[in-house]
Amino acid sequence: MSGFIITRELIKRIYTKYDAYINPLLKFIFALIILSVVNSKIGYMDRLDNIAIVLIAALLCSFMPTQVIALMTGVFMILHMYALALECALVFGVLFFLMFILYVRLVPKETMVVLITPVLYLLKIPYVMPVAVGLFGGPMSFVSLAFGVVLACFIEYVHNNATTLTSMEDGNIVGRITFVVDGLLGNRAMLAMIIVFSIVLLLVYVLRRRAIDYSWTLAVIAGSIAELVLFLICDIALNLNYSLGGIIFGSILAAGVGLFLQLFSFHLDYKRVENVQFEDDDYYYYVRAVPKVKMSATDRKVKKVQPSQSRQASRSTHSSQADRAVRHSETRSTASTARSIKTEQNAGATPAKDSQRTVHTANGASRTINR
Amino acid sequence: MIDENKVILMTKLAAYEQGEGKKYTSIAGYFRTDYVSSYLLGSIIAGTLAFAAVVGVYIFYSFETIMENVYETDFMALGKKVGTYYLVFMGIYLLLTYILALYRYSKAKSSLKTYYNNLKKLEKNF
How many residues belong to chain A? Answer: 371
pLDDT per position as a tens digit, A92-139: 888 888 888 888 888 888 888 888 898 888 888 889 999 999 988 888
pLDDT per position as a tens digit, B52-79: 999 988 888 888 888 888 888 888 888 9
Predicted local distance difference test score (pLDDT) of residue A196: 93
pLDDT per position as a tens digit, A298-308: 556 677 777 65
Q: Inter-chain contact A102–B47, Cβ cutoff 8 Å?
A: yes
Q: Inter-chain contact A105–B46, Cβ cutoff 8 Å?
A: yes
Predicted local distance difference test score (pLDDT) of residue A184: 85
pLDDT at B84 over 90: yes
Distance CA A111, CA A67 (A): 6
Distance CA A122, CA A184 (A): 16
Cα distances from A267 to residues A174, A213, A295, in angstroms, run 55, 12, 12
Range(s) of the domain holding residue B60: 18-125
Establish if A218 belongs to a structural domain. Answer: no
The CA distance from B66 to the nearest CA of chain A, in Å, is 12
Within 8 A of A105 by CB-CB distance, chain B residues are 42, 46
pLDDT per position as a tens digit, A49-83: 888 999 999 999 998 888 888 889 889 989 998 88
CB A199 within 8 A of CB A231: no
The CA distance from A230 to the nearest CA of chain B, in Å, is 29
| Residue among B47, B60, B93 minimizing CB distance to A174 | B60
Establish if B28 belongs to a structural domain. Answer: yes
CB A105 within 8 A of CB A70: no
Within 8 A of A184 by CB-CB distance, chain B residues are none
A155 contact partners, CB below 8 Å, separation of at least 6 = A38, A41, A42, A77, A118, A122
Q: pTM to 2 decimals? A: 0.70
Q: For residue A348, is it left (φ>0), alpha (ψ between -120 and 50) or beta?
A: left
Establish if B37 belongs to a structural domain. Answer: yes
Establish if B43 belongs to a structural domain. Answer: yes
Predicted local distance difference test score (pLDDT) of residue A366: 37
Mutation to test the B interface, candidates A88, A95, A98, most B Cβ within 10 Å? A98
Predicted local distance difference test score (pLDDT) of residue A8: 78
Distance CA A273, CA B86 (A): 55
| Residue among B61, B63, B100 minimizing CB distance to A106 | B100
> For residue A176, what is the nearest residue in chain B, using CA coordinates?
B61
CB B108 within 8 A of CB B28: yes
A155-194: buried (b, 16+ CB within 10 Å) or exposed (e) per residue?
bbbbeebbeebeeeeeeebbebbbbbbebbeebebbbbbb
| Confidence tier at A312 by pLDDT (50, 70, 90) | low
Within 8 A of B60 by CB-CB distance, chain A residues are 90, 173-174, 177
Establish if B104 belongs to a structural domain. Answer: yes
Task: For A59-123, give the DSSP string.
Answer: HHHHTS-HHHHHHHHHHHHHHHHHHH-HHHHHHHHHHHHHHIIIIITT-GGGHHHHHHHHHHHHT
Chain A residues whose C-beta is within 8 A of a chain B C-beta are: 90-91, 94, 97-98, 101-102, 105-107, 173-174, 177-178, 181
pLDDT per position as a tens digit, B88-116: 999 999 999 999 999 989 988 888 888 88
**What's the total number of domains in chain A?**
2
Establish if A13 belongs to a structural domain. Answer: yes
Predicted local distance difference test score (pLDDT) of residue A159: 86
pLDDT per position as a tens digit, A229-280: 999 999 888 888 778 888 888 889 989 988 888 887 777 777 777 777 777 7
A370: part of which helix (H) or strand (E)?
Answer: helix A355-370
Q: Inter-chain contact B47–A105, Cβ cutoff 8 Å?
A: no
The CA distance from A59 to the nearest CA of chain B, in Å, is 25
Within 8 A of A90 by CB-CB distance, chain B residues are 57, 60
Predicted local distance difference test score (pLDDT) of residue A337: 38
B101-123: buried (b, 16+ CB within 10 Å) or exposed (e) per residue?
beebbeebeebbeebeeeeeeee
Angle between the N-to-C axes of helices A2-42 and A111-122, in degrees from 0 to 180, rounded to the nearest 10 = 70
Beta strands in B1-126 (DSSP E): none
Establish if A23 belongs to a structural domain. Answer: yes
Predicted local distance difference test score (pLDDT) of residue B16: 81
Q: Confirm or reject contact between B55 and chain A (CB < 8 A).
A: no
Distance CA A106, CA B97 (A): 8
Strand partners, A301: A344
Establish if B6 belongs to a structural domain. Answer: no
Q: Confirm or reject contact between B88 and chain A (CB < 8 A).
A: no
pLDDT per position as a tens digit, A325-351: 444 444 444 433 334 333 333 434 444
Distance CA A249, CA A231 (A): 12
| Residue among A94, A101, A107 minimizing CB distance to B57 | A94
CB A204 within 8 A of CB A219: yes
Residues A30 and A148 in one domain: yes
Residues A198 and A57 in one domain: yes
Range(s) of the domain holding residue A117: 2-203
Predicted local distance difference test score (pLDDT) of residue A315: 54
Predicted local distance difference test score (pLDDT) of residue A336: 38
pLDDT at A323 over 80: no
Residue at a domain's end among A145, A177, A203: A203
Q: Confirm or reject contact between B4 and chain A (CB < 8 A).
A: no
Establish if B2 belongs to a structural domain. Answer: no
pLDDT per position as a tens digit, A14-38: 888 888 888 899 999 999 998 998 8
Predicted local distance difference test score (pLDDT) of residue A215: 86
Establish if B5 belongs to a structural domain. Answer: no
CB A111 within 8 A of CB A69: yes
Establish if A58 belongs to a structural domain. Answer: yes
| Confidence tier at B49 by pLDDT (50, 70, 90) | very high
> HEC string of A42-75?
HCCCCCCCCHHHHHHHHHHHHCCCHHHHHHHHHH
Q: Which residue has the higher pLDDT, A316 or A87?
A: A87
pLDDT above 90: percentage of residues in chain B: 33
> No. of H helices and E strands in chain A?
15, 4
pLDDT at A225 over 90: yes
**Interface size between A and B, measured as CB pairs under 8 A:** 37
Establish if A326 belongs to a structural domain. Answer: yes
Residues A31 and A150 in one domain: yes
Predicted local distance difference test score (pLDDT) of residue A316: 53
